[in-house]
Structure 1
């Protein structure tokens, strides 16, 4: 958390000054209570009214400070939260494909939502509350010294006791918070999974399963939240005990001093107000610190993401071939191939065939740099995939999935993926993908919203949109994994023929069925059944 406080130190300094101004106004108003009460005892109306006017002015300044502080504090917290999310997602960018998929998507969603909310509330909001209490306590302690030294000495002794007591349960609080954070991840995963399965449950008349799953996950999450609150309650009770002893003790001590005429009777109201600031602050500080410490495991979890920081060689075109040599790959405990060797020439058109489970998609994932735990050698234009910069490799290769993912948004947004292309290029890509006429027939054209997960498109339309997404980027190597499997025969042949006739690309496609008219134009066929 300190990392983000340092990044936004200027904003936090301004916020600290605002908090200090408000605290000074409050403490001075408390001190003025003694003067007002003494004036009341002596029946000095003029002095009483003057004191009350000063108190009113000071409290008005405090209210003004709150009007400035509350929205500014929210702004600073959001700045740090956004930066935290940015750092998390940048870690995703540095992860290998395999490391990323060691986690469930719901886990990362929980990090960016539940965990950030916890950091905002238990971390940043509590930090500023803690800062406010510390400033108020220091100012109150200084003010108490002007009444009598014994009052501040007593306050210090009780303060030490009040701070120590909640530490007795700190370990249990941390354990409960870690368990809650993990259960929040599981809750998001469970709920996301069952909600996405609505169509399947609907088809089988099993929509009641949706409620059952959500309730079961909710019960488990509620149990963890209750356990966390129990642990925090024990901490709060211990802190409150010291608080009560401190406040009553200061009041008794001031009363004794007043009887001895060491302090004025009006001092009782001031010392009560100031001691309340100290001991209420201490009682809250211990709980706040306990809650703040619960965010540390969350930040540690973020730091434990395995990123690929190993230096990689730059991609340099050294020859015109993609070469597989003595390739072996284990999928679980099964060996997919033994000493697979093959050469794909630049500009060639190739098909990879084989029975289900023969490793066709796995081979494409190796060629795309997703899987690097292979044995043997795979080079693209003379660059070994294990040692070359994978990001640079993907600048040369486009991988068209057999189950393309559609982002919520428009057709244009799903093609551009955050980049910008000319309308002319967009329409050319749609034409080559066999989707131009369909998009032109839509009232909103490129701006048509396709819905969540592309719900408004058919399976074939999704594949064609994914194809357009790849074609517009002009990559030289196209890996097509059953990329036309959801299309009717006419459109599939048309798109495959367009790819086959494009002399600028190297086409490697996985297929279960090589269509007539395509087979004779292939440069080569890699049959994994024969390996």
Structure 2
């Protein structure tokens, strides 16, 4: 966290200056109060007027200094928070697919919004008060050594003891704050999932069940927040109690040593400086705990995972002949998905994955596309281990088409090109290959027609065709397609499936639908059954299906 703050050295220096100038108003105000108290001893009304005006000017000075301090500090606070948001977003966007999928998408949203907002609200407030308290402590101790060196030594020992007592609360404070963060992530995920399926919940009249679950999540989150606040409150109260007892002892020590003819102004100023060596210490550890816990959360958000880094030693992707899957074994926890699977996929052929729901079809695609690498056995591309191939290089040569198409609120062109530069001939080839020409003819602005939020102004088939064009324009060596026609009607499904099969690339697709005269154009079927991978020619697979139907 310190390195992050020091990235903007000039801004941080301005911030420190803004913190340090507050010390002048603190000392001036305390001196003014001591002088006014001294007037009580002298009984001189002219002194009362003079020092009363001095005290008033001191308070006006304090107000001006506070405003100036705020102006010096606010720019650095804003820029640092903005830098954290940008870096956190960049960290998410540059993660490998495998690293990104370790957390739910809504957990990232919670980090970007809730956690950084909490940091912004608490961290700099705590940092200001910590620096201010430290400078008050050091300045007061220095003045006290000049006025009463023996009392100063006593205050050093007492303040150190109080510091150690307060430090004992640190670990629990950080642990409780991290629990709140995790609860916030779970709450955001559950609420987002509920909102995503709200229409289904209402149609089936089960919203009350999910409402009660959301209430429980809310209560758990608020309970943890309350626990942190209560613990912090009582930690502060306990620190204040120690400070109060110490102040009483300071008063007793000073009063017991007063001699006839003492200077009340000096006595009041000594008491003020001695107290100022205690109260900052009672606040330092609670403030430090806030800094530590919020700083730890931000460091966790910004931390780059080791296996998420791109390795320069990895090999480039190059697919010219075949993909060999040898003795592939993969499990989700204790559940075995694929056991000793063996299959060979030839370049340029079209493969259809079949199997019962939950058999592992999507998992097999994720294994072939480097999403999961914690498997046993080998996946070789022209003899090279898939795990040794650079993820950047791999992703540049493959494309994905999913059932759920995400479209940006932008033009059709940008949704196809994804903000990259392509030749018009490449764009036209993708548009024609995806069968988008009829759509573009209907649109007044053609390729520059605006797409509404996630394609609300387009039909399901049109959205899917944009997704296909997006895949074609990349000229992939492998196209992965996962249930792309499941939500389309018969007519649109046939058109989309036919478009995919007409592409000059290796296709690995999942589809529960069978379109007579189209689906049989696949070269082969990979059936996943009982954890095994069974490669069959399409005609052989169709014969098996017909025999099974006849027996039924």
CA distance in 1, matches of 2:440, 2:59: 64
RMSD: 3.7
Structure 1 residues 165 and 45: CA distance shift in structure 2, 3 A? same
Shift of 1:396: 0.6
Shift of 1:198: 0.9
Shift of 1:428: 6.6
Report which stretch shifted further, 505-514 or 7-16.
Answer: 505-514
Structure 1 residues 145 and 442: CA distance shift in structure 2, 3 A? farther
Structure 1 residues 464 and 215: CA distance shift in structure 2, 3 A? same
Task: Determine the structure 1 residue equivalent to 2:164.
Answer: 164
Task: Determine the structure 2 residue equivalent to 1:113.
Answer: 113
Q: Deviations over 1:384-416 (max 9, x none)?
A: 311110121110111112333456777666545
Shift of 1:27: 1.0
CA distance in 1, matches of 2:482, 2:453: 23
CA distance in 1, matches of 2:169, 2:87: 32
Shift of 1:129: 1.5
CA distance in 1, matches of 2:193, 2:289: 34
Verify the 8 A CA contact 2:119 2:294 in the aligned structure 1.
yes
Structure 1 residues 128 and 410: CA distance shift in structure 2, 3 A? farther
CA distance in 2, matches of 1:467, 1:260: 96
- Quick check: 1:265 aligned with 2:267? no
Verify the 8 A CA contact 1:398 1:477 in the aligned structure 2.
yes
Shift of 1:221: 1.5
State which of 344, 347, 360 in structure 1 corresponds to 2:346.
344
Q: Match of 2:308, SS? A: coil
Verify the 8 A CA contact 1:410 1:446 in the aligned structure 2.
yes
Shift of 1:202: 1.0
Matches for 1:89-488 after TM superposition, within 5 Å: 89=89, 91-92=91-92, 96-256=96-256, 259-262=259-262, 264-295=263-294, 298=297, 301-302=300-301, 303=303, 305=305, 307-309=307-309, 312-315=313-316, 317=318, 320-332=320-332, 333-334=335-336, 336=338, 338-345=340-347, 348-357=348-357, 359-380=360-381, 383-406=384-407, 414-415=415-416, 417=418, 419=420, 429=430, 432-435=433-436, 438=439, 446-450=449-453, 458-488=459-489
CA distance in 2, matches of 1:159, 1:359: 64
Structure 1 residues 72 and 436: CA distance shift in structure 2, 3 A? farther
Structure 1 residues 398 and 362: CA distance shift in structure 2, 3 A? same
CA distance in 2, matches of 1:68, 1:383: 64
CA distance in 2, matches of 1:57, 1:472: 72
Verify the 8 A CA contact 1:322 1:378 in the aligned structure 2.
no
Shift of 1:14: 1.7
CA distance in 2, matches of 1:222, 1:494: 52
Report which stretch shifted further, 148-157 or 184-193.
Answer: 148-157
CA distance in 2, matches of 1:205, 1:433: 40
Shift of 1:371: 2.8
Report which stretch shifted further, 24-33 or 94-103.
Answer: 94-103
Q: Match of 1:164, SS? A: helix
* TM norm structure 2: 0.80
Count of aligned positions: 523
Verify the 8 A CA contact 2:317 2:390 in the aligned structure 1.
no
Shift of 1:370: 1.9
Shift of 1:242: 1.9
Q: Deviations over 1:230-273 (max 9, x none)?
A: 322332122101211233344444555555334x1123443454
CA distance in 1, matches of 2:417, 2:73: 37
Shift of 1:323: 2.1
CA distance in 2, matches of 1:207, 1:416: 40
- Quick check: 1:11 aligned with 2:16? no
Structure 1 residues 424 and 78: CA distance shift in structure 2, 3 A? farther
CA distance in 1, matches of 2:76, 2:387: 43
Shift of 1:515: 3.8
Verify the 8 A CA contact 1:92 1:100 in the aligned structure 2.
yes
CA distance in 2, matches of 1:119, 1:20: 23
Structure 1 stretches lacking a partner, 5+ long? none
Q: Match of 2:404, SS? A: coil
Verify the 8 A CA contact 2:130 2:284 in the aligned structure 1.
yes
Matches for 1:64-103 after TM superposition, within 5 Å: 64-89=64-89, 91-92=91-92, 96-103=96-103
Structure 2 stretches lacking a partner, 5+ long? 529-533, 536-552
Q: Deviations over 1:417-476 (max 9, x none)?
A: 56566899768755643456557757896433225xx56655444423322332333434
CA distance in 2, matches of 1:44, 1:5: 52
